Structure 1
Amino acid sequence: MEVKLEQIIEGMEAQSEEHFTFLNLDTGEVEYISREALMIAEDEGEYDHLPDWQQDEVKIAYDIVENFDQYASLPSRFDINEYEMMESFCYSLPENNKQVILLNSIRGKGAFRRFKDNVNRLGISEQWYDYRDNRYKEIAIEFCESKNIDYKE
């Protein structure tokens, strides 16, 4: 099986506190599952009263719960650590006013919003998104290699 890195990256970006992504190690498909669907499957709950689309999701969640060794959980937001990514980007800039502004913007409450506002204001948003995309790609590659998954770009 060979997986496209783009699918892994999209799955990593789609995760939240309410939605998880898993890679089916047999098919190479990335599965998007809500916390609710996983809870139903873990509790072996009934789901035929749900809309068709949600029943399909719960069926996949049941498969994940019952065949956990056939799935790999994609790196989560905690594994990715976007704050560290922003800080690392700041230090990748030449030591000048932009670096100082961005480093100051990531301190304290509201750091993510301030950072993105300042990246846009300083005209380096494309540079930031390229940096971020490359970092996500590195994490996706590390994930694939750690699971012995063949990948293509």
Structure 2
Amino acid sequence: MKAKMMDVLEAFEMSDDELHYVYNKKTGEVVIVADDSSDFESDEDVDMAELEANEDQYIALPDKFDINDYHIMEQFIWQLPAGEQQTELERSIQGRGAFRYFRNTLDRFEMTQEWYDFQNETYRKMAVEWGEVNGVELVE
């Protein structure tokens, strides 16, 4: 079984409370499973009834809870050298508005691209691990 790496990475980036992604073993495509309450519609989406009726045809991709962007932010901060940047970024993710404050702090330190590179590399590692666990070869 093969899947496009870019499709898996896009699913990681777009996953939220209403949108979940699965890999269709028959077609080799990553498709959206829209929550019944979602207004999102696509020609490629799968409804819950289809998914339940043919669950052996689909493999779930990690959802937003599995991906845990907050933990990825922590990992990014912890890999920085001790100092002002690390301290300020740690402070930025405490409490309400953590994602916004984190991004603002990154901007102030001109580290936004460094963050996105780290996040993308983390997503890529997660995608490779997901593929290995599920017997899906990821192709560029």
What TM-score, normalized by structure 1, do the two folds share?
A: 0.82
Check whether the contact 1:11–1:21 (CA below 8 A) recurs between aligned residues. yes
Task: Please tell me whether the aligned partners of residues 25 and 58 of structure 2 are also in contact (alpha carbons under 8 angstroms).
Answer: yes
User: Which aligned pairs between 1:1-153 and structure 2 lie closer than 5 A?
Assistant: 1-36=1-36, 60-61=46-47, 62-153=49-140
Q: How many residues align?
A: 138
TM-score, normalisation: structure 2: 0.89
Structure in which a larger fraction of residues adopt helix: 1
Kindly state the Cα deviation for residue 119 of structure 1 after the two structures are TM-superposed.
0.6
> Where in structure 1 are there 5+ consecutive unaligned residues?
39-52
Cα deviations across residues 48-80 of structure 1 (Å, max 9, x unaligned)? Answer: xxxxx959567x324322110110111011001
Q: Is the 8 A contact 1:24 1:72 kept in 2?
A: yes
Q: Which digits, 9 at most, give the CA deviation of each residue in 1:69-101, with x for residues without a partner?
A: 110111011001111110110111111211111
| 1:15 Cα offset (Å) | 1.4
Seen in structure 2, the aligned counterparts of structure 1 residues 123 and 73 have a Cα distance that, compared at 3 Å, is same
1-side partners of 2:42 and 2:137: how far apart? 31
In 2: Cα distance, 1:81 partner to 1:96 partner: 25
CA distance in 2, matches of 1:55, 1:82: 26
> Counterpart of 1:103 in 2: which secondary structure?
helix
Amino acid aligned to 2:83: N
Q: Percent identity?
A: 34
